[in-house]
Structure 1
Amino acid sequence: MSKTRFRSDAGLTRRIGVVSLGLVALYLAFGAVLITVMPSALMAAVVVVALAWGQWYFSDKLALASMRARIVTPEQAPELHAMIDRLCALADMPKPAVAIADTDLPNAFATGRSPSHSAVCVTTGILKRLDAEELEGVLSHELAHVAHRDVSVMTVASSLGLLAGFLIRWAPFLGNNRDRNNNGALMFLVVWIASMVAYFISFLLTRALSRYRELSADRAGAYLTGKPSALASALMKITGEMGRIPSKDLREVENMSAFFFATPAFSRDSLAGLMSSHPPVEKRIDQLARISADLGRPL
């Protein structure tokens, strides 16, 4: 985590370490299968890793382009810039670029490979629905993601899943020349099964880390502003409004959902809870209630 006034999170650090060790072990095992069974796929692996690096390096530009967001100046959005200026001064961190996405979807996200190369984006939908304190709570959450370098961590953590998914889809086409010998079909079956296993385990590890990083950003943002009730109110409004957004509109931004402040509410005991990039809203509200009690303020 960068040196800011956001509270340090030993739990997040531990989880990043555990997930990293698990992914390293998975990388080594997966690489051994590729080298032993399908050496010609190594060039494909290099290409995918290069794509993952590009996704990390240009993450801010790619994310903003995906949402059709525009960078805004202090003259174009004075209140939004003033709020981020105050929070960055409070957190003692570099100010990110400020962007607005023209969509009724009420949400926000942070992106960028480092605190000095980052952007915070809000939608016109969230600007219409939240009051100043609620919006400040959401922005403090997003700035905590920047300080935690969450985009970098999640991009690196998900790169194995990207590689495995690539091979699942393209392995049969990458080695047509091997199909001429008797072992060709068996080799590709082994690679395909190994890719499926690697993708599934990588998916579960990164989803678990993603859910915890959302809780960590909630904690850091609430303690920074000292107003967990405002963050809880924003969370309730946004998850409620997300449930009213047409499914076709949600599908258009599905590739960005892991980076959003909130996603549509779901039961904490459902399969969606296990697969989601965000924790259940009830769990986030419960945590904010505990922070309110810690600060001596009712939620």
Structure 2
Amino acid sequence: MKRFWLTLRIWLATALLFAVLYAIIAVICTFLGFGTPLIFAIMSIVVVFAQYMLGPSMVERVMHVRYVSPQEAPNLHAMIDELAMNAGIPKPKVGVAETTIPNAFAFGRTKKDGRVCVTRGILNILDEEELKAVLGHEISHIRHNDMAVMTLISVVPLICYWIFISTLFGDSDSDAGVIGIVALVGYLLGQLLVLFVSRVREYYADQGSVEIGGKPHKLASALYKLVYGSVNLDKRQVKEVEGVKAFFVNDISDAHNEISDLEQLDLDMDGSISEMELAELRNMKTSIGTGSKIMELLSTHPNMVKRVKRLAELSNT
């Protein structure tokens, strides 16, 4: 049932995005005719297609990914072998990113082209079962093929943005002004909806990890450690990976804002979340700061307290 509601939310948001696009094109067609919106749409699709084709190599370059053999990383390959088999997908390529940023990420064009990578930083802070749960999260992204969904829906705010920009440099008449305002509203709404879908897919991947063998309390503990591991990152490091951080397990830029809220989850303050602590969290009332709630609306990832709380619910199923 939880899977059904997550899927429904993704498709409803996607349908709303394209309804927004349809409304904007209808307004433009009323003022300018049918040619101009089509040109914008074609240009946007070409850009997104190029991003779709070149995206994997760009991620590899930014993250300094090096693919490793089973001989080089036997434990890593063994976990991914098991999880991919449980997920019913071809085994993805296995890589290590030579960075101290503690995280993991999945990318690729299709299920057959999937790649799962871990950073050197995450290997240093997680135990084996925590790492397995994180890898299950990443493999679930490939299993759900939500990378393709994100590429598709990102077209909508892009089209709206280009239409808005074109009105700034076009004829300064009232028609252009109306179109520009409508396109700007569409862009802002579209961006919020894209971020919403991105956050929902993270919940979906968390649940997917549990379904294919990741333990809920181990994933919760891993998420907790990743936030703390991201707090003291050099700002230059974060800046270097700004363009690909949406692929990460958590939003490394928001770690400072999540720290104070997360303290309430580690009941014995030992730096991890045990199975007993996660069970207690199921019925425990948690609080989220106002700043964190606002930041979540503008983030690609859900609030970490809410994610852990949801894992507590999953641990009871």
TM band (smaller chain): 0.7 to 0.9
**Aligned Cα RMSD in Å?**
2.2
Query: Does structure 2 retain, via aligned residues, the 8 Å contact 1:106–1:241?
Result: yes
CA distance in 1, matches of 2:128, 2:31: 58
Change (3 A) 1:218 1:164: same
Question: Which consecutive unaligned segments of at least 5 residues does structure 2 have?
Answer: 259-287
Residue 282 of structure 1 and its aligned partner are, at CA, apart by 0.8
- Alignment-mate amino acid for residue 305 of structure 2: E
Change (3 A) 1:188 1:76: farther
Residue 241 (str. 1) matches residue 229 (str. 2): yes
Residue 147 of structure 1 and its aligned partner are, at CA, apart by 0.6
Corresponding residue for residue 27 of structure 1: 21
Residue 70 of structure 1 and its aligned partner are, at CA, apart by 2.7
Corresponding residue for residue 66 of structure 1: 62
Equivalent of 1:113 in 105, 109, 116: 109
How many residue pairs match? The answer is 280
CA distance in 1, matches of 2:210, 2:145: 18
Equivalent of 1:225 in 177, 202, 213: 213
Residue 148 of structure 1 and its aligned partner are, at CA, apart by 0.7
Change (3 A) 1:226 1:139: closer
Corresponding residue for residue 53 of structure 1: 49
CA distance in 1, matches of 2:300, 2:309: 18
Residue 197 of structure 1 and its aligned partner are, at CA, apart by 0.8
Task: Summarize the alignment of residues 2-21 of structure 1 with structure 2, pairs less than 5 Å apart.
Answer: 9-21=3-15
Change (3 A) 1:37 1:98: farther
Query: Structure 1 segments of 4 or more deviating over 6 A?
Result: none
Change (3 A) 1:98 1:220: same
Match of 1:239, SS?
Answer: helix
Residue 14 of structure 1 and its aligned partner are, at CA, apart by 0.7
CA distance in 1, matches of 2:122, 2:205: 18
CA distance in 2, matches of 1:195, 1:242: 37
CA distance in 1, matches of 2:31, 2:233: 47
Residue 84 of structure 1 and its aligned partner are, at CA, apart by 0.7
Corresponding residue for residue 316 of structure 2: 293
Query: Does structure 1 retain, via aligned residues, the 8 Å contact 2:96–2:120?
Result: yes
CA distance in 2, matches of 1:159, 1:220: 26
Residue 8 of structure 1 and its aligned partner are, at CA, apart by 8.3
The more displaced of 115-124 and 184-193 is 184-193
CA distance in 1, matches of 2:109, 2:5: 22
- Alignment-mate amino acid for residue 141 of structure 1: H
CA distance in 1, matches of 2:141, 2:180: 35
Question: Which consecutive unaligned segments of at least 5 residues does structure 1 have?
Answer: 1-6, 295-299
- Alignment-mate amino acid for residue 86 of structure 1: E
Residue 200 of structure 1 and its aligned partner are, at CA, apart by 1.0
CA-to-aligned-CA distance 1:143-201 (integer Å, 9 cap, x gap): 0111111101111111111222334445434x4xxx3xxxx433432332122111111
Residue 232 of structure 1 and its aligned partner are, at CA, apart by 1.1
Task: Summarize the alignment of residues 170-249 of structure 1 with structure 2, pairs less than 5 Å apart.
Answer: 170-173=166-169, 175=170, 179=171, 184-249=172-237
Corresponding residue for residue 139 of structure 1: 135
- Alignment-mate amino acid for residue 67 of structure 2: I
Change (3 A) 1:235 1:172: same
CA-to-aligned-CA distance 1:87-132 (integer Å, 9 cap, x gap): 1122222111222211111111111232112211211111122121
Task: Summarize the alignment of residues 70-89 of structure 1 with structure 2, pairs less than 5 Å apart.
Answer: 70-89=66-85
CA-to-aligned-CA distance 1:219-242 (integer Å, 9 cap, x gap): 120232251111111101101111
The more displaced of 35-44 and 93-102 is 35-44
Query: Does structure 1 retain, via aligned residues, the 8 Å contact 2:64–2:98?
Result: yes
Query: Does structure 2 retain, via aligned residues, the 8 Å contact 1:171–1:188?
Result: yes
- Alignment-mate amino acid for residue 18 of structure 1: L
Residue 40 of structure 1 and its aligned partner are, at CA, apart by 4.0
Query: Does structure 1 retain, via aligned residues, the 8 Å contact 2:167–2:177?
Result: no
Match of 2:114, SS?
Answer: strand
CA-to-aligned-CA distance 1:49-68 (integer Å, 9 cap, x gap): 11112223443333223323
Query: Does structure 2 retain, via aligned residues, the 8 Å contact 1:60–1:118?
Result: no
Query: In percent, how many aligned pairs have the same letter?
Result: 37
The more displaced of 107-116 and 158-167 is 158-167
- Alignment-mate amino acid for residue 16 of structure 2: G
Change (3 A) 1:166 1:64: farther
CA distance in 1, matches of 2:66, 2:240: 18
CA-to-aligned-CA distance 1:6-54 (integer Å, 9 cap, x gap): x982122211221122112111112223334454464343112111122
Query: Does structure 2 retain, via aligned residues, the 8 Å contact 1:35–1:42?
Result: no
